[in-house]
Amino acid sequence: MWEKISKIGQKLVSSGLVEANFGNLSVRSKTGNSFMITKTKTALDEIQKDSIIEVPVDTQCETAAAVEIAAIVEKTASSETNVHRRIYQESDAKAIVHAHCPHAVVLSLLEYGAGNTSVFPVDSEGKLFLKEIPIVIGGIGSDELAKNAAAAFREGCRGVIILGHGTIAVGETIEDAYQITAQLEHTCKVKYMVDAAKNTFSDCKK
C-alpha cells in the first residue's frame, strides 16, 4: 500500500498541488478499524515504507500499555490525523488526500470574505462532479476542523476547501481522492480566472 501512497504523493508535488513537506495522505484498512497515514514532516515526493504509520479509527484504549503506545503513535503521525480519523468515523471514505492547492486557497479567502460559505463551479466538469464545494473553517489538526470537515463529507460531498489552508478530498481509492483533488484545483482556477476576467472587462467599460 505504501507504494500507491508514494506514487500519489509524487504526483501531488509534481502537479503543484502541494509543497513537498506539507499535506498528508491516508488509506483506510480493509477491516475499517484503522488507517495508514503519512508521518509528520514527511516530504510527499519522498515517501518510503517507513514514512507511513498505522493508527486506529477508534481512539479508546483499555490498558496503560495501549495508552502509552497510542500516545507515541499520535506524536509520530501527521498533525492532521485527528481530521482524517473524524472523517473515517463519520463517512464511508476509504482514502483521503489533503493538499494545499493554491487557487483553491485563494478562492476560499475571496469567497468567504464576500460572505459565501461554498464555491459554486462554473466549469462543466466541476458542475458535474463537484456541484458545490463547501468552505470549512478550523485550525490545523483542530477539533473544530475535524468536526466541520466530517460534517461536510457526511452530507455526501467529495471535496472541501479549508479556509486559507488547502483542500481535502475523499474517495474509494487513493487514486480517486487524487483525481478529486486535481478537479478541485482546476475548478477553482477556472472560476478565479473567469471572475478576474469579468472584473477586468467591467473596468474597461468604465
CATH class of 2-205: alpha beta
Cα separation, 130 vs 147, in Å, equals 21
Provide the pairing of β-strand 52-56 with 34-38.
Answer: antiparallel
Is-contact 73 61, C-beta < 8 A? no
Is-contact 141 134, C-beta < 8 A? no
Local structure of 187: helix, strand or coil: helix
* Strand partners for 107: none
Q: Which positions of the chain have pLDDT values less than 50?
A: 63, 65-66, 68-69
Cα separation, 17 vs 12, in Å, equals 5
The pLDDT score that the predictor gives to residue 71 is 58
Q: Across 164-203, where does the E strand assignment appear?
A: 166-171
pLDDT tens digit string along 129-186? 999 999 999 998 899 999 999 999 988 899 999 999 999 999 999 999 999 999 999 9
Q: Domain boundaries in the chain?
A: 2-205
Q: Which three cell numbers stand for residue 112?
A: 468567504
138 burial (CB, 10 Å; 0-12 / 13-18 / 19+) is middle
